[in-house]
Structure formats: structure tokens, C-alpha cells
Amino acid sequence: MIGHARQLPLDLRHEPSFAREDFLSAPANTDALRAIEAWPDWPGRMLLLIGPAGSGKSHLGAIWARRAEAAIVEAEALIDARPADLARAKAILIENADRLGAAEANLFHLINLARESEASLLLTARSAPDDWGLKMPDLHSRLRLAPVVALDEPDEPLARAVLFKLFSDRQLAVDPAVIAYIALRIERSLGAARAIVEALDREALARGKAVTRTMAALVLKDAGEG
């Protein structure tokens, strides 16, 4: 007797949507969302958005950048950038500012130029400037003057909502009980949610079956061992 053929899934990329309507508001991120939507009425036209990996910093940054028509640059890339060129934009998003490295002087100049031109500046980071190991006291002083808003780790209800959305994005109908089972067993981050949903999507397609609790348990076990 021939068993069920195992399909070979195509490696189709599912790019995350950073649209405003796709941002899931919850107690862990309400203050940050409110601060982003308060632009351009920011004190000093600068805001520092901090939170752990997967908490939604990039999504909020993208929402703001689209609304403010901001130039976007990774902090590490500032080492090769000309602050005067960036400061021509009316708004600037600096991603992962805690990974600034050797670009401290360029960020310091950019902050000063942005203040002179009245440009808005949003910086995202995993922690507050005191933890970045900055070597320039003047830069440290500038950053400590910026208002700070923090994102917390997603709670379990938010993790369920994120999983439901990610499954829906892939046209996968998954029982809420299975989603709750997964939410209790993964790291509370968007990255972890995306990884498990992608793995389950591939497994379900390969088997030609719906996502079940048994399938989720096996994939979670494999992920843990990996």
C-alpha cells in the first residue's frame, strides 16, 4: 500500500507588513504607539523608542517613517554617511542606535544639524543610552535629553493575537486552542512567532494537512532541539 505522498513546499517568502492597520495594540505597546502618533508634537522634535527584540520597534518606526516621510538609516551605516546630507530630510529614523559602534561622532553631528534645521529624529534601540557604552560624553548628554518611550515584552494575549494574524496572512485556519498552545511555549517575540508560523506552514503544506496541536508539538520540539 502506497502512503500519502509528501509534497515539497515552494520556498515562498512572506514579507511582514508594517502598515498601521497591521499593528496590534496592547498594554505592552500602548504608550509607544501613542507617542508615535503624537508626532510632530514631540518635545525637542526627538524621541527614543526602546524595547527588546521582537517587541515592535521596527513596525512603529516604519509607521512613523511613512507618515513623516523620513529618511531611514541603520545606526552602523552612519559611519559611512554624511550627516549634512541626512539632515536635509525633514525627518530621520535611526534604527538600532544601540549598535552605533564607531559612528558616535556622526550621530552627534546629525543630532545637532537636525536641531538647527528643525528636523524630527526617531531612534530605536534595545536599551537606554546609559547601556550603549558610549565614549562621547557630549553625545551621551544629547541623548539623555530625549524623551524615552519603552515597549515591553508581548504578553500571552498579544502573542496569541500575533500568531493568529501571521497564520491568517498565510491563509492558514488554525484552531484557537492550537494557537493558545503555541503562544504559551514560544519566546514572546515577533521573530519567534514568525519562525514557528513559517515552520508550521511548511510542515502543513508538506503533509497536505491542517495545523494541529500534535504537529505544533513536533515542530516546537524540533525547534527546541535545533
CA quadruple 163, 166, 168, 171: dihedral positive or negative? negative
Interatomic CA distance for residues 128 and 117, integer angstroms: 25
pLDDT of residue 59: 87
Please report, for residues 103, 104, 219, 226, the alpha-carbon distance to residue 77 in angstroms, rounded to integers and kept in the order given: 8, 11, 37, 32
- φ/ψ of 69, rounded to 5, equals 55, 50
* CA-to-CA dists, residue 165 to 12, 115, 173, angstroms: 18, 39, 10
Q: Give the predicted TM-score (pTM) of the model.
A: 0.72
Residue 156 to residue 142: CA distance in whole angstroms: 36
Whether the Cβ atoms of residue 154 and residue 120 lie closer than 8 Å to each other: no
Residue 52's pLDDT is 85
Identify which of 71, 63, 123 has the alpha carbon closest to the alpha carbon of residue 97.
123
Short-list 39, 28, 47, CA closest to 149: 47
Which parts of the chain register pLDDT below 50?
1-13
Q: What is the pLDDT of residues 85-107, one digit of tens each?
A: 999 999 999 999 999 999 999 99
Q: Which residue has the cell 508581548?
A: 154
Query: What's the CATH architecture for 29-150?
Result: 3-Layer(aba) Sandwich (3.40)
Evaluate whether the domain defined by 156-225 bears CATH number 1.10.8.60: yes
Question: Beta-strand (E) ranges in 75-128?
Answer: 91-95, 120-125
What is the DSSP secondary structure assignment for residue 201, as one 8-state letter?
H
Q: Where are the domains of the chain?
A: 29-150, 156-225
Q: Which residue has the cell 541626512?
A: 86
